[in-house]
Amino acid sequence: MITWIAFAKTMGGKDSALRIPFVTEPEFLGRAHVTADHMAGLSETELMDLLKVSAQIACRTSEQYQMISRGEAEILPALAAYTGAVFRRIAPSGFEKGDWLFAQDHLRIMSSLYGILRPLDGISAYRLEATASLDGQNTVAASWRPLLTESFISLVKDSGGVLLDLASEEMRLFLDWNAVMSSVRVVRPDFYERRSGRLKSVTMYAKMCRGEMVRHVVLNRIDSPEELAGFSWDGFSYDPSVSTGDHMVFVRG
């Protein structure tokens, strides 16, 4: 089983608590460097327009790409580089060597700059929206689609043919999602709160639950979706009465 999550917009620096066995090279590092060089050549105003960000974020983003282009950017393992809600709940700073090795084989992170990442793939801080268009025609996500789809399907097939989809729906734009759905078993967990008799998805809680589920999978070496029914966190637990097939629903309240 392969677990799949999305990159986060927020990224951090080195954590002294990390115990990393080694760092690997991203499969599409060369393409990432070409893109970084292109981004480094843009003005801050152009970055503001391209990424739809403030002047402050554009300034920081420009500095990040300049550092990557000059080969001076700090390199961190992907799972530790992102600091969004999902990644904070995964909490890789507490991983032992065996946890990292299991994650390296069973977890993948979609990145707008680097493509498909393994947890120990070394990356640098950047900002790049999936919906941005670098050539004025295709979005970043669409430009990755022909490069990633076949290899991603092969990866899942070689790992038991099951994809645990904990990524945001936007990440499906990076792949020919119809081809993925027709080629492998896709298991999609969703997380809801029961309020006044109705199920409601709260974005922040859903992100936290995704991260906690990834952590649960790694620490317990889970390799089949059937084992996920035992997952619970902060009142969220599996509810078979509202789950259908490979859509696993976890409810609190």
- Mean pLDDT for the chain overall: 96
Q: How far apart are CA 230 and CA 232, in angstroms?
A: 6
The tens digit of pLDDT for each residue in 178-232 reads 999 999 999 999 999 999 989 999 999 999 999 999 999 999 999 999 999 999 9
Q: What is the DSSP string of 137-150?
A: SSBHHHHHHHHHHH
pLDDT of 128 reads 98
Please enumerate, as own/partner, the contacts of 94-97 that have beta carbons within 8 Å and a separation of 24 or more: 94/17, 95/19, 95/218, 96/19, 97/19, 97/21
Give helix 44-51 / helix 55-70 axis angle, nearest 10°: 110
pLDDT of 15 reads 77
pLDDT of 19 reads 87
Helix H segments across 137-235?
Answer: 140-158, 177-183, 203-219
The tens digit of pLDDT for each residue in 12-29 reads 887 767 889 999 999 999
Q: How far apart are CA 116 and CA 156, in angstroms?
A: 13
pLDDT of 18 reads 85
Residue 226, both tokens? 């059937």
Look at phi and psi of residue 235 and say left if phi exceeds 0, alpha if psi is from -120 to 50, else beta. Answer: left
Question: Which segments in the chain show pLDDT lower than 50?
Answer: none
Q: How far apart are CA 96 and CA 189, in angstroms?
A: 26
